[in-house]
A and B are shown apart, each in its own frame.
Chain A
Amino acid sequence: MKAVITTVGKDRVGILAMMANACADNQINILDVSQTILDGIFTMTMVVDTEKLSVPLADFAAYLQQLGEKNGLVIRLMNKEIFDSMHRV
């Protein structure tokens, strides 16, 4: 399954590295990354493959949420289907 992970928050060193590690630790393959920094606000969207994910998806989503809260970021995982259904006919 493909999912989109978005990370939003104040820019600082190491956000991308932290997210990449979180994915690697859970056997998540990053397919695509895009990031922008606007007025000091860091926004990153990642498309990932969760096929080999070592834990249930809901647990990983909850883990990312907590990781965000700990680091002053809003991190969310969303099944990619939701964007496909909204923006593609």
Chain B
Amino acid sequence: MSDLRTSEILETIEMIDKECLDIRTITMGISLLDCADSDIRRSCEKIEKKILRLAKDLVKTGEEISLTYGIPVVNKRISVTPIALLCAVSGGDPVEYALTLEKCARELGIDFIGGYSALVQKGFSAGDRELIASIPRALAATEHICASVNVGSTKAGINMDAVQMMGKIVRECAEMTAERDSLGAAKLVVLCNAPEDNPFMAGAFHGVGEPDAEIHVGVSGPGVVRAVLAKADKTLPLNEIAELVKRTAFKITRMGQLVGSVASAKLGIPAGIVDLSLAPTPAAGDSVAEILEEMGLDSCGAYGTTACLALLNDAVKKGGVMAAQAVGGLSGSFIPVSEDAGMIRAVKNGTLNLEKLEAMTAVCSVGLDMVIVPGDTPAEILSGVIADEAAIGMVNLKTTAVRIIPAIGKKEGDHVNFGGLLGEGDVMHINRTGNAVLIARGGRIPSPMQALKN
């Protein structure tokens, strides 16, 4: 068969048909810095004009690639300059920006716009507090907008005033969307060491060091890795398992790289990065937890889970990095509980708890993600969770994040269903031992020795 073997063609088709291989997202990063105006109304007009101009063909291009390359492009997204920066110039009610972005998303048929964000790792500047305070209203009033707040970094330390604030904000987001299973909190992520070129939601924003516009791609391939490991002998040593993961990650990422280059050429916008992340979906078989189980665990959450995840995360990077021209974003393995059929099951059968997940976040690519806790969880407990995750990220020079949903009106063991890619899951047990004095202290946890690299 010319220079391709039939078996290779069929392997690719099987990955797409049976193993849920797809392009999770083509995300266009757009800088809004040139839209800032001292009049918020003018600012919003300029934003609308710029987004509609640059992204007018984004959805069409994604669909065209789906059709002619035979690979599904599931989401078409946009990430923008952190809106707090625009608030600093314009003042006014930040929710106006959220509504403008929502209007753009609807008009263009975009799945999500990320960047209703503030970067406050070292402290607050003009616009930051106003934006953070407005997040619950913004998320309740919109459908397609995602918010994020970076509260710490290895270089800056952890802004504990922001951590304190975010516990309350997460609760407010949940409360204001209580009738929708507290969906608002699922669209807000609190980050440490946030990457500025991330195509994945809810943490996507377009950093100030990025070009005016660029095209990022994120691939979803846990099903493919799982299928490869399922076929492997159960006595295969782990170094060889790592090789299998590497080779598979290489193939998946090459496809992502191709789609990124094609989309960039079609849209006339420079290619940004490929995010190597294994992003699970609630679909059967498309699960990171099941990859870990294929390595030899009876259930995700068993002792050995963190070790398996460390191997997976590293092998994915090693395989992917050679396949992509530029790697960025989060690039590793996600562990979003409600979006991963294996994790949903592990929570249900009691083998996966928050403490184990916290350990896993030390070696995965992000953090505590899509975790559902009882609706009456106090704000300071949520702040404590955020502080611990930020500390893991700060010390280990990695991105960590918390996307936690206090499901209003629900208690431990109840079921919550967000629908779509956000998935579903049981409400988990959370340790409520008091930490109010700690959280009330505020201030800043200084940056660690790891920051002093120069």
On whether the beta carbons of B2 and A84 are closer than 8 Å, the reply is: no
Q: B71: which A residues are within 8 A, CB to CB?
A: 78, 82
Instruction: Kindly supply a per-residue 1/0 record for chain A positions 62-89, scoring 1 wherever the CB is within 8 Å of any chain B CB and 0 otherwise.
Output: 1000000000000011111111111110
How far is A88 from B70 in the complex, measured between Cα atoms in Å? 18
- Neighbour of B6 across the interface among A36, A79, A84, A88, CB < 8 A: A36
- Neighbour of A58 across the interface among B5, B64, B257, CB < 8 A: B64
Closest residue on chain A to residue B259 by CB atoms: A82
Q: A3: which B residues are within 8 A, CB to CB?
A: 68
Give, as a whole number of angstroms, the nearest-CB distance from B11 to chain A. Answer: 8
Q: Quick check: is A28 within 8 A (CB to CB) of the other chain?
A: no
On whether the beta carbons of B68 and A4 are closer than 8 Å, the reply is: no
On whether the beta carbons of B12 and A58 are closer than 8 Å, the reply is: no
Identify the interface centre among A45, A47, A88: most chain B CB within 10 Å of its CB.
A45
Q: Quick check: is B10 within 8 A (CB to CB) of the other chain?
A: yes
A34 touching B70 in the complex, CB below 8 Å, given contacts A82-B12, A82-B258, A85-B255? no
Q: Quick check: is A43 within 8 A (CB to CB) of the other chain?
A: yes
Q: Quick check: is B444 within 8 A (CB to CB) of the other chain?
A: no
Q: Quick check: is A61 within 8 A (CB to CB) of the other chain?
A: yes
Identify the interface centre among B1, B4, B6: most chain A CB within 10 Å of its CB.
B4
Q: Quick check: is B452 within 8 A (CB to CB) of the other chain?
A: no
How far is A57 from B65 in the complex, measured between Cα atoms in Å? 10
Give, as a whole number of angstroms, the nearest-CB distance from B14 to chain A. Answer: 11
On whether the beta carbons of A61 and B67 are closer than 8 Å, the reply is: yes
On whether the beta carbons of B68 and A84 are closer than 8 Å, the reply is: no
Q: A31: which B residues are within 8 A, CB to CB?
A: 2
How far is A59 from B11 in the complex, measured between Cα atoms in Å? 25
Size category of the binding interface on chain B: 20 to 34
On whether the beta carbons of A78 and B69 are closer than 8 Å, the reply is: yes
A87 touching B67 in the complex, CB below 8 Å, given contacts A4-B9, A45-B9, A82-B255? no
How far is A35 from B57 in the complex, measured between Cα atoms in Å? 38
How far is A57 from B70 in the complex, measured between Cα atoms in Å? 12
Q: A45: which B residues are within 8 A, CB to CB?
A: 1, 6, 9-10
Identify the interface centre among A31, A81, A88: most chain B CB within 10 Å of its CB.
A81
Instruction: Kindly supply a per-residue 1/0 record for chain A positions 8-34, scoring 1 wherever the CB is within 8 Å of any chain B CB and 0 otherwise.
Output: 000000000000000000000001101
Q: Quick check: is B254 within 8 A (CB to CB) of the other chain?
A: yes
On whether the beta carbons of A84 and B4 are closer than 8 Å, the reply is: yes
Give, as a whole number of angstroms, the nearest-CB distance from A28 to chain B. Answer: 14
How far is A62 from B63 in the complex, measured between Cα atoms in Å? 12
Q: B6: which A residues are within 8 A, CB to CB?
A: 34, 36, 43, 45
Q: Quick check: is B230 within 8 A (CB to CB) of the other chain?
A: no
Q: Quick check: is B415 within 8 A (CB to CB) of the other chain?
A: no
A57 touching B68 in the complex, CB below 8 Å, given contacts A32-B2, A85-B255, A86-B254? yes
Closest residue on chain A to residue B71 by CB atoms: A82
On whether the beta carbons of B70 and A82 are closer than 8 Å, the reply is: yes
Q: B3: which A residues are within 8 A, CB to CB?
A: 88
CB contacts under 8 Å to A, within B1-52, are: 1-6, 8-13
Q: B4: which A residues are within 8 A, CB to CB?
A: 4, 47, 80, 83-84, 87
How far is A3 from B8 in the complex, measured between Cα atoms in Å? 14
How far is A36 from B9 in the complex, measured between Cα atoms in Å? 13
Q: A62: which B residues are within 8 A, CB to CB?
A: 67
On whether the beta carbons of B258 and A81 are closer than 8 Å, the reply is: yes
How far is A11 from B69 in the complex, measured between Cα atoms in Å? 26
Give, as a whole number of angstroms, the nearest-CB distance from A31 to chain B. Answer: 6
Q: Quick check: is B251 within 8 A (CB to CB) of the other chain?
A: yes
The 5 closest A-B pairs by CB, nearest first: A78-B70, A85-B258, A87-B8, A85-B254, A34-B1
A positions within 8 Å CB-CB of B: 3-4, 6, 31-32, 34, 36, 43, 45, 47, 57-58, 61-62, 76-88
B positions within 8 Å CB-CB of A: 1-6, 8-13, 64, 67-71, 251, 254-255, 257-258, 262
A selection of 26 A-B contacts at a CB cut-off of 8 Å is: A3-B68, A4-B9, A34-B6, A43-B6, A45-B1, A45-B9, A45-B10, A47-B1, A47-B2, A57-B68, A58-B67, A61-B70, A76-B13, A76-B70, A78-B12, A78-B68, A78-B69, A81-B258, A82-B70, A83-B9, A84-B4, A85-B255, A86-B251, A86-B255, A87-B4, A87-B11
Given contacts A62-B67, A86-B251, 18 further A-B contacts (CB under 8 A): A3-B68, A32-B1, A32-B2, A36-B6, A43-B6, A47-B4, A58-B64, A58-B67, A58-B68, A76-B13, A76-B70, A77-B68, A77-B70, A79-B69, A81-B262, A83-B8, A84-B4, A85-B255
